Structure 1
């Protein structure tokens, strides 16, 4: 698949998906969302890829929806807007439930839909100057899709604070709220995220990463007993998987596992 608004690269078992509209502050529109879905699908289908990095080219990670796109939405029919919303929903679900860990490398502001992308990634790291916020209410819109994921991630109280006020917060406050995982100096963030991705590639089996993501994502959809029953089932199934057998063999022989 060829891309006009993003770049897609694979090296050392890591797929890097980069929003590439720096002149638009990597703003989202229907075509960008479609290309992101295609790239995440490609990474999921590629057996050589174990970890995905999501980044933005230029001064912003992603500034949300672009102005031309917002103007077009006002001319759409309800059915057209519903289809467009469902496409963005599909992207957020895809990232949240992706079979491979997704790390956001945030080197600029993540606003509205851009903050939504950071929300659904498994791990997120930002430079100190990055700002975060769900500003939809300030233009008479609603942060509808992201609210579902944000409540899960940081809890109802903090989600209400961010979504209702539409305020921007700094990277340090985003860490304190649990929205992102860490703040990293601009000259170090590439190396840190690459090192973390590499550590996941070599230090954990692909099967274990996939199942762990599924267990975490599904836990809140079940009663405690249902979640425990599912966890016990996955525990038993994993013991039969070749990755587990290799991991135990390597541990017992004080060797590095070969996955």
Structure 2
């Protein structure tokens, strides 16, 4: 399916869906139209059986500079409800990203600040360009981290470091790698290709089980592993792998 969009580009090649934020003149800041098109792009990648991996990136020299405040109705701040805006835009997007069973890579190809970084945190993997810069800049404008940052960041880097980053400090790709905020420095092509060769159903089950481990006890997760392993054991990928192993031994 071809998505006729302007603020978000969608392309599929060799089982990899590349979703590109396409407002380079404003560092790919998110407005209402982009929210809608970004949501539709992820849903299309989820539906498309030809897609095994999703890569999210930005056009130009930026990944995403966060919310486009100039496009928001802020003239009368008493009438603008940030909470309602979050529910209608970021919240459904973040939940969609986390519920997709396919691997999702955030290619942080330039600056990623505010909600732009939050969206990257919701992805399964983060690969940053050598010159990328990242910051949670919410406090700089008197707001709190949102779009899932309060959930993901402490789990990725720890509570104390998350609070420190929440103060708005800009960090380099090297520092982000040092604190495990990103998986790699460079470009995502090799990782994406490797992931296309990963058993998709098993990956999705692993992803769901690990996500759920945040909120469940060990005994509950052990049971979820029982359920996931039962399903994985019935997949064609597992059957082929076992057959290949047995053939090698014979």
One fold, TM greater than 0.5?
yes
Q: Which runs of 5+ in 1 are unaligned?
A: 255-259
Given the two structures, how large is their TM-score scaled by the length of structure 1?
0.89
Q: Is 1:150 the equivalent of 2:144?
A: no
| Match in the other structure for 1:83 | 84
CA drift at 1:73: 4.2
Q: What value does the CA root-mean-square deviation take over the aligned residues? A: 1.7
Aligned residues between the structures: 244
CA distance in 1, matches of 2:9, 2:101: 21
The more displaced of 90-99 and 53-62 is: 90-99
Given the two structures, how large is their TM-score scaled by the length of structure 2?
0.92
**For 2:191, which of 196, 210, 219 is the aligned residue?**
196
Post-superposition CA distance 1:14-51 (Å, at most 9, x none): 10000111111001112211111100000000011010
| SS of residue paired to 1:144 | coil
CA drift at 1:235: 1.3
| SS of residue paired to 2:55 | strand
Cα distance change of structure 1 residues 39 and 209 upon mapping to structure 2, 3 Å threshold: same
| Match in the other structure for 1:257 | none
CA contact (8 A) 1:97 1:213 kept: no
Q: Is 1:160 the equivalent of 2:163?
A: yes
Cα distance change of structure 1 residues 74 and 144 upon mapping to structure 2, 3 Å threshold: farther
CA contact (8 A) 1:73 1:81 kept: no
CA distance in 1, matches of 2:45, 2:79: 33
| Match in the other structure for 1:218 | 212
**For 1:236, which of 218, 230, 234 is the aligned residue?**
230
**For 1:62, which of 61, 64, 74 is the aligned residue?**
64
Deviating above 6 A after TM superposition, structure 1's stretches of 4 or more consecutive aligned residues are 76-79
**For 1:112, which of 88, 111, 114 is the aligned residue?**
114
**For 2:123, which of 121, 124, 127 is the aligned residue?**
121
| SS of residue paired to 2:112 | strand
Q: Is 1:8 the equivalent of 2:10?
A: yes
CA contact (8 A) 2:56 2:105 kept: yes
CA drift at 1:11: 1.0
Q: Which runs of 5+ in 2 are unaligned?
A: none
Cα distance change of structure 1 residues 229 and 161 upon mapping to structure 2, 3 Å threshold: same
CA distance in 1, matches of 2:180, 2:142: 27
Post-superposition CA distance 1:125-184 (Å, at most 9, x none): 111211111010011111133111212222211111111x21111111111111111112
Instruction: Identify, as 1 or 2, the structure richer in helix.
Output: 1
| SS of residue paired to 1:253 | helix
